[in-house]
């Protein structure tokens, strides 16, 4: 796909005519603002940036791209950690930051309808006065967009009990990769037909651009209780987690931090976690008061039975916020104890936690690379922070090796290469470690149904784009795209 | 090709796929029909490899294929336009894995829901899908995305299914998702095949997230005058802090209605919430640890007309009133029952009703559901009614759906015509 400068100039003019000159950026310096998302190791300056204000403009931009045969990439807030919103050098970056209206908060329907650029936390802020909130709560909730959440099927600390974005989005309006506006789902459940909404959520901008999202609102719980338990080791904290789950309790959240993550958080935000802890657990229960009261006692006992040496119970919201502060700032805090770090995101079955953490420890020791662990223990979603110093020879490579080895470890234990950050650009090469060629080809059938021309966020998620004209399942030998030097097999 | 030639080739394919299953292929008999359409052959593969070999052979022989699980919902959807081979999943059964500590299970698609429930109960766990009568399979429950009362707390098959193995129309085996609850690697094909009525592939294995069995449960019921009043009362329950597992209305054709709230949790918690619910519902509300009659059953019997009506939540009382009024207008007895707490109702009309009048009622129900952002789908109906009404009604995104079907099943051999828009 190579596009000439004159083609792009013509496309720029078409976009200006379609959505207004002040909504199209072509100045090189301004374009640089958009060269990466939250994963700064990949940088590409887009050819053009479009800032549509509504669905019709968004569709007009996509149609102009289709007419020009130019790829387009959607971008919400650009907080993605897998390079999903990494621009295409010859393409248009479609940014939703001017689509930030909350169109409706309808508590009686348990729904809110929002434009894609609306910030996650803004939905809860709008719903709170009515007694409702939006449950999926990525740590980035103060800055990430609902459109980005839909594209990534984002999760958060409370997903153990409440599920992920896909369980909380009941409708989208999208611009298909050929420029049509289509509605899937809405306020009522179970629209007839294929669950294309379910397939769209988590598709990382490769099946079109969401222009309106209908989300489920959740009732603010009657009661919330939070405890912080300190253990000597992650093994003990892991055992406590398993015991809680085995007892039939489904907490709203179970989060774990290891010693290195704790010390990073202390240095940054002085959260005052118990001294000498090898691991802390934050366990939160919510729901009707009588249920929470009964289960909270049980959780506290199970933590003690599994050798928690200190348990603190939040007496009020301020104290609860303090417990969470250390956890929520952990990613950023690591920046204080290491010049560079990789935020990894892998998933394992919860019961494999002790074994996998031990192995990560060994990998770290073998390669001389520190790894801090902060994670959603309840659902086995690890976030190892792999620390390194890029100015030291060879450390970057070693850190990447450790980071990749951790993913292999996850796959070997029957887990996933990503629990919430997505595949994007960054992990496309790992997809074949989890999926066979046939699996990936089958996913491409869906891709080709939506995007036969392959213009929607090309090069993301899949290591080798399959050409949509091919007969399914009949591929033998070297892929033609590979032979033509158009794609690489990792 | 002569019939026995086809049989021979299917048998050869099956033998290649699974050595210890000598004769999984036979000629169809009089019972082997799908929604009234007779098949020519039946094959009952035992595992994914054998199913794949059979589907590859079916592709080579250009056979039209429909999947049959327990056969309890074969009258749902339209009859297949073309049918040669029934792929019967009854031998494709068994629990592959139950990792109790991880709250997940992997099961073969032909496993009966009641058998799975018995296995999981041993570990005090459950797959939280309602299945009131025996016989239905996991694959059938997934393929029809049927839902019962407890979807209010636990969600539906689409929410609980975390991984899937499917065999495509061309016999290629594909996996999506996996065995962990949190997973965003690749497209969620498990969602795509949920509710697809077997038109995109044969589902051979499913991985589900499980829930602990609740230690205690209570049903609190209040009888009221009519359906609309039941709908309003349901709204009151939703607005309170009771966190019910289910919130159902039941309005039989004969008149009167009831609201039932199911509470699940710890013994102390359930007792306290049941008492609070009783106070909220009013003086004559009763609490019981037994489900009321008809709980979780469709309000119709075999041979009747069964519909699914959906609505935005605020529209539920209005829809209940409108549906009742429309039935009265067309002088048809209409039984309504369903999950007022999530906006999904089921409606039944006797199969003997005049098809013309049923057609008018369906039109009225479509208008009533459309007014509250929902849909009215006819799930099952006698042939005379099917001829008169469009089963599915308007479908958003139909053009995209056709494109998906075209990619997955370009020769339209999987249950052709069963699904929306004649897919
Ligand atoms: C400090 C920090 C903490 C984080 N914590 C979490 C966490 O706890 N859980 C979690 O899940 N993630 C987390 N993330 C990752 C990130 O915030 C999420 O992936 C988020 O959903 C991205 O939203 P965004 O608006 O920034 O999307 P972007 O980064 O702009 O885009 C992400 C992807 O979505 C696509 N996209 C964007 N908008 C649309 C649209 N309207 N239609 C179609 N596709 C679109 C893009 O093409 C891209 O592929 C974290 C990130 C940071 C920086
Ligand atoms: C309120 C309520 C009431 C219910 N009542 C009953 C009841 O009375 N009896 C009962 O048994 N269950 C009942 N169920 C459970 C559920 O509806 C059935 O278990 C299920 O839908 C039918 O399973 P089956 O195996 O009989 O499917 P079938 O009738 O055999 O098949 C149904 C459809 O699914 C397709 N299909 C089946 N298996 C597969 C597969 N592996 N891959 C792809 N497609 C497949 C078929 O082609 C067909 O289109 C009820 C559920 C609810 C919520």
Residue B13 CA from chain centroid, whole number: 31
Distance from Cα A80 to the centre of ligand 1, integer Å: 4
**Tally of CB atoms within 10 A around A446:** 27
- Is residue B72 within 8 A of residue B95, CB to CB? The reply is no
Q: Is the pLDDT of residue A96 over 90?
A: yes
Interface membership of B189 toward A (CB under 8 Å): yes
SS3 B254: coil
Residue A484 pLDDT greater than 70, yes or no: no
How many Cα atoms are found within 13 Å in the side-chain-facing hemisphere of B94? 8
A350 within 8 A of A241, measured Cβ to Cβ? yes
Which residue from B174, B184, B196 is facing A194, i.e. has the nearest CB? B196
CA of B211, closest CA in chain A: separation in Å?
Answer: 8
Tell me the mean pLDDT in the region B192-204.
97
CA torsion, ordered A231, A233, A236, A242, to nearest 10 deg: 100
Supply the pLDDT for residue B17: 62
Euclidean distance between CA atoms A221 and A285, whole angstroms? 10
Choose among B58, B54, B59, B68: nearest CA to B21: B54
pLDDT tens figures, B287-296? 999 999 999 9
pLDDT band, very low/low/confident/very high, at A489 (cuts 50, 70, 90): very low
Q: Is the pLDDT assigned to residue B48 strictly greater than 50? A: yes
CA separation, residue B71 to residues B31, B56, B109, B135, B139 (Å): 11, 24, 13, 8, 11
* Ligand 2 centroid to residue B73 C-alpha, Å: 5
| For residues A25-38, average pLDDT | 96
Axis-axis angle for helices A259-269, A330-337 (nearest 10)? 90
User: Residue B132 Cα, ligand 2 centroid: separation in angstroms?
Assistant: 11
Q: How far is A391 from chain B (nearest CA, A)?
A: 32
Distance from CA of A68 to the nearest CA of B (A): 23
Q: Which of A183, A291, A351 sits opposite B269 (nearest CB)?
A: A291
Spell out a b/e string for A203-217, using b for 16 or more CB atoms within 10 Å of the CB, else e.
Answer: bbbbbbbbbbbbbbb
CB-based contact A223:A119 (threshold 8 Å): no
Q: How confident is the model at residue A6 (pLDDT cuts 50, 70, 90)?
A: confident
Q: How many Cβ atoms from other residues are within 10 Å of residue B303's Cβ?
A: 13
- Alpha-carbon span B29 to B42, nearest angstrom: 9
**What are the start-end ranges of the E strands in B216-282?**
216-224, 246-251, 257-265
Its ipTM equals 0.96
* A309 and A231 Cβ atoms separated by less than 8 Å: yes
User: B12 φ, ψ to 5°?
Assistant: -60, -45
Q: Are strands B37-38 and A223-231 parallel, antiparallel or unpaired?
A: unpaired
Tell me the three-class secondary structure of A220-237, residue by residue. Answer: CCCEEEEEEEEECCHHHH
pLDDT number for residue B22:
63
Q: Residue A335: what pLDDT?
A: 84
CA-CA distance, B140 to B129, in Å (whole number)? Answer: 12
At A361-391, the pLDDT tens digits run 999 999 999 999 999 999 999 999 999 999 9
Mode of pairing for the β-strands spanning B104-108 and A209-216 = unpaired
Q: With an 8 Å Cβ cutoff, are B176 and A431 in contact?
A: no
Which B-chain residues 66-105 have CB contacts (< 8 A) with chain A? 99-104
B332 contact partners, CB below 8 Å, separation of at least 6: B349, B353, B357, B358, B361
The reported pLDDT for the residue numbered B283 is 78
User: Which bound ligand lies closest to the C-alpha atom of B346?
Assistant: 2
CB contact under 8 A, B184 and A203: no
Residue B309 pLDDT more than 80? yes
Question: pLDDT (tens digit, 9 = 90+) per residue, A341-367?
Answer: 999 999 999 999 989 999 999 999 999
User: Hey, what are A82's tokens?
Assistant: 């897998």
Q: What CA–CA distance (Å, rounded) separates B375 from B308?
A: 8
Query: Burial of B118 by CB count in 10 Å (0-12 exposed, 13-18 middle, 19+ buried)?
Result: exposed
Report the C-alpha gap between B68 and B72 in whole angstroms.
Answer: 9
Domains and CATH numbers, chain A: 9-95 (3.30.43.10), 102-219 (3.30.465.10), 221-332 (3.30.70.2190), 338-450 (3.30.70.2740)
Residue in B215, B268, B310 nearest the CB of A248: B215
Max Cα separation, chain B? 73
Report pLDDT for A488.
44
pLDDT at A163 over 80: yes
Report the C-alpha gap between B160 and A166 in whole angstroms: 12
- Place A229 in a pLDDT band, splitting at 50, 70 and 90: very high
Q: What is the mean pLDDT of residues B271-284?
A: 93
In this structure, how many other beta carbons lie within 10 angstroms of the beta carbon of residue A223? 15
- CB–CB of A194 and B195 under 8 A? yes
Q: Give the DSSP H or E segment for B368.
A: helix B355-370
List of residues 6+ apart from A321 with CB closer than 8 A: none
- Residues composing chain B: 423
Cα–chain center distance at B365: 21
Residue B244: phi and psi, rounded to 5, are: -70, 155
* B220 three-state secondary structure: strand
Per-residue confidence (pLDDT) for residue B132, from 0 to 100: 56
pLDDT score at A476: 46
% of chain B residues with pLDDT over 70: 97
Report the Cα–Cα distance between both ends of chain A, in Å, rounded.
Answer: 20
The residue among A180, A123, A257 whose CA lies nearest residue A450 is A180
SS (H, E, C) A136-172: CCCCCCCCCEHHHHHHHCCCCCCHHHHCCHHHCEEEE
What is the average pLDDT across B14-36? Answer: 83
Q: For residue range A263-319, list pLDDT tens digits in order.
A: 999 988 898 999 999 999 999 999 999 899 999 999 999 999 999 999 999 999 999
Nearest CA to CA, how far is B419 from chain A (Å)?
A: 7
Q: Which pLDDT band holds residue B180 (cuts at 50, 70, 90)?
A: very high
As separate numbers, helices (DSSP H) first and strands (DSSP E) second, chain B gives 13, 21
Q: Is A439 in contact with B159 (Cβ distance < 8 A)?
A: no
Contacts of A149 (CB under 8 A, 6+ apart): A76, A120, A136, A138, A165
Locate B86 and state its tokens.
């029934």
Ligand nearest to the CA of B34: 2
What Rg do the C-alpha atoms of chain B give, in angstroms? 22
Phi then psi for residue A252, to 5 deg, are: -70, -30
Average pLDDT over residues A191-198: 98
Cβ neighbours of residue A100 closer than 8 Å, sequence gap 6 or more: A115, A117, A118, A119, A122
Neighbour count for residue A48 (Cβ, 10 Å): 25
Q: Identify which of A162, A61, A73, A54 has the alpha carbon closest to the alpha carbon of residue A116.
A: A54
- Ligand with minimal distance to B141 CA: 2
Instruction: With beta carbons less than 8 A apart as the criterion, state whether A326 and A267 touch.
Output: no
Chain A interface disruption, residue of B101, B176, B182, most A CBs within 10 A: B182
pLDDT at A253: 96
Query: And the tokens for A243?
Result: 């015991």
Q: Own/partner pairs for A358-362, CB < 8 Å, 24+ apart?
A: A358/A235, A359/A409, A360/A384, A360/A406, A360/A409
DSSP-assigned letter for residue B131: -
Q: What is the pLDDT of residue A367?
A: 95
CB B353 within 8 A of CB B305: yes
Indicate whether A27 pLDDT > 60: yes
Q: Which pLDDT value is given to residue A285? A: 97
C-beta atoms surrounding A234 within 10 Å: 26
Q: Which residue has the higher pLDDT, A122 or B36?
A: A122
Structural domains present in chain B? 3-88 (3.30.43.10), 95-212 (3.30.465.10), 216-288 (3.30.70.260), 305-387 (3.30.70.2740)
Give me the mean pLDDT over the A5-29 stretch.
95
Under a CB-based contact definition with an 8 Å cutoff, are residues A68 and A92 in contact? no
Would you give the distance in Å from CA A66 to the centre of its chain?
28
Q: How far apart are CA A475 and CA A470, in angstroms?
A: 8
User: What is residue B267's three-state secondary structure?
Assistant: helix
Tokens 């309890």 correspond to what residue?
B72
Least confident of A182-191, B69-78, B351-360: B69-78
């Amino acid at each position: 796909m190579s596009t000439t400068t004159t083609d792009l100039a013509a496309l720029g003019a078409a976009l200006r005519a379609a959505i207004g000159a002040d909504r199209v950026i072509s100045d090189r310096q301004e374009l640089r603002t958009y060269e990466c998302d939250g994963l700064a190791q990949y940088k590409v300056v887009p050819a053009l940036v479009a800032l549509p204000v509504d669905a019709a403009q968004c569709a007009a931009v996509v149609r102009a791209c289709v007419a020009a045969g130019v790829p387009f990439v959607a971008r919400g807030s650009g907080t993605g950690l897998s390079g999903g919103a990494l621009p295409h050098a010859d393409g248009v970056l479609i940014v939703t930051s001017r689509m930030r209206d909350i169109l409706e908060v309808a508590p009686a329907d348990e729904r809110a309808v929002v434009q894609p650029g609306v910030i996650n936390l803004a939905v809860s802020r709008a719903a709170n006065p009515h007694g409702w909130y939006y449950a999926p709560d990525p740590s980035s909730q103060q800055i990430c967009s609902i459109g980005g959440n839909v594209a990534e099927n984002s999760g958060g600390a409370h997903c153990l009990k409440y599920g992920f974005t896909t369980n909380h989005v009941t409708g989208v309006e999208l611009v298909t990769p050929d420029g049509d506006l289509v509605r899937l789902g809405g306020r009522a459940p179970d629209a007839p037909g294929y669950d294309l909404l379910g397939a769209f959520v988590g598709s990382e901008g490769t099946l079109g651009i969401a222009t309106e999202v209908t989300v489920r609102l959740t009732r603010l719980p009657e009661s919330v209780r939070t405890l912080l338990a300190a253990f000597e080791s992650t093994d003990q904290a892991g055992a406590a987690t398993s015991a809680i789950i085995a007892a039939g309790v489904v907490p709203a959240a179970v989060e774990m931090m290891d010693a290195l993550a704790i010390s990073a958080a202390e240095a940054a935000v002085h959260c005052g976690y118990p001294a000498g802890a090898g691991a802390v657990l934050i366990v939160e229960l919510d729901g009707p008061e009588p249920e929470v009261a009964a289960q909270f006692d049980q959780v506290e006992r199970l933590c003690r039975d599994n050798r928690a040496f200190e348990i603190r119970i939040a007496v009020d919201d301020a104290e609860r916020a303090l417990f969470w502060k250390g956890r929520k700032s952990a990613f950023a805090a690591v920046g204080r104890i290491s010049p560079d770090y990789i935020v990894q995101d892998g998933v394992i079955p919860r019961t494999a936690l002790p074994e996998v953490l031990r192995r990560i420890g060994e990998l770290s020791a073998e390669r001389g690379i520190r790894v801090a662990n902060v994670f959603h223990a309840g659902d086995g979603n690890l976030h190892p922070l792999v620390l390194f110093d890029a100015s030291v020879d060879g450390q970057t490579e070693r850190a990447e090796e450790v980071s990749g080895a951790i993913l292999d470890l996850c796959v070997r234990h029957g887990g996933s290469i990503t629990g919430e950050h997505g595949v994007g650009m960054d992990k496309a090469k790992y997809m074949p470690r989890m999926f066979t060629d046939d699996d990936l080809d089958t996913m491409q059938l869906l891709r080709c149904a939506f995007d036969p021309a392959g213009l929607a966020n090309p090069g993301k998620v899949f290591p080798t784009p399959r050409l949509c004209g091919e007969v399914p399942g009949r591929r033998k030998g070297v892929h033609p795209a590979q032979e033509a030097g158009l794609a690489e097999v990792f | 090709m002569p019939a026995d030639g086809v049989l021979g080739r299917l048998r050869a394919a099956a033998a290649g796929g699974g050595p210890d299953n000598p004769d999984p292929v036979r000629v169809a008999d009089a019972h082997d029909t799908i929604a009234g359409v007779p098949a020519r052959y039946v094959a009952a593969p035992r595992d994914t490899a054998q199913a794949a070999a059979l589907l590859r052979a079916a592709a080579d022989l250009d056979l039209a294929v429909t999947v049959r699980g327990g056969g309890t919902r074969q009258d749902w959807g339209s009859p297949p336009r073309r049918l040669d081979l029934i792929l019967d999943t009854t031998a494709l059964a068994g629990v592959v894995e139950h990792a109790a500590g991880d709250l997940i299970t992997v099961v073969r698609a032909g496993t009966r829901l009641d058998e799975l429930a018995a296995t999981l109960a041993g570990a005090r766990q459950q797959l939280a899908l309602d299945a009131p009568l025996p016989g239905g399979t996991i694959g059938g429950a997934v393929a029809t995305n049927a839902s019962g009362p407890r979807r209010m707390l636990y969600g539906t098959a689409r929410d609980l299914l975390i991984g899937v193995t499917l065999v495509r129309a061309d016999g290629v085996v594909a996996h999506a998702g996996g065995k962990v609850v949190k997973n965003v690697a690749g497209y969620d094909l498990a969602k795509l095949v949920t509710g697809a009525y077997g038109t995109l592939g044969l589902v051979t294995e499913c991985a589900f997230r499980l829930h602990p069995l609740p230690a205690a449960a209570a049903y609190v019921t209040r009888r009221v005058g009519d359906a609309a009043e039941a709908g309003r009362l349901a709204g009151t329950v939703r607005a309170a802090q009771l966190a019910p597992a289910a919130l159902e209305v039941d309005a039989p054709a004969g008149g009167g209605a009831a609201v039932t709230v199911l509470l699940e949790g710890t013994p102390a918690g359930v007792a306290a919430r049941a008492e609070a619910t009783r106070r909220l519902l009013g003086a004559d509300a009763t609490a019981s640890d037994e489900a009321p009659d008809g709980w979780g059953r469709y309000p119709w019997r075999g041979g009747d007309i069964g519909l699914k009506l959906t609505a935005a939540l605020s529209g539920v009382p209005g829809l209940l009133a409108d549906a009742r009024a429309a039935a009265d207008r067309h002088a048809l007895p209409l039984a309504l029952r369903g999950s007022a707490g999530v906006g999904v109702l089921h409606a039944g009309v006797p199969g003997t009703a005049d098809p013309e009048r049923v057609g008018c009622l369906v039109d009225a129900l479509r208008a009533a559901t459309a007014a509250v952002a929902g849909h009215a789908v006819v799930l099952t109906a006698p042939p005379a009614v099917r001829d008169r009404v469009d089963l599915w009604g308007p479908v958003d995104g139909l053009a995209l759906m056709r494109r998906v079907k075209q990619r997955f099943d370009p020769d339209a051999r999987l249950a052709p015509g069963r699904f929306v828009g004649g897919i």
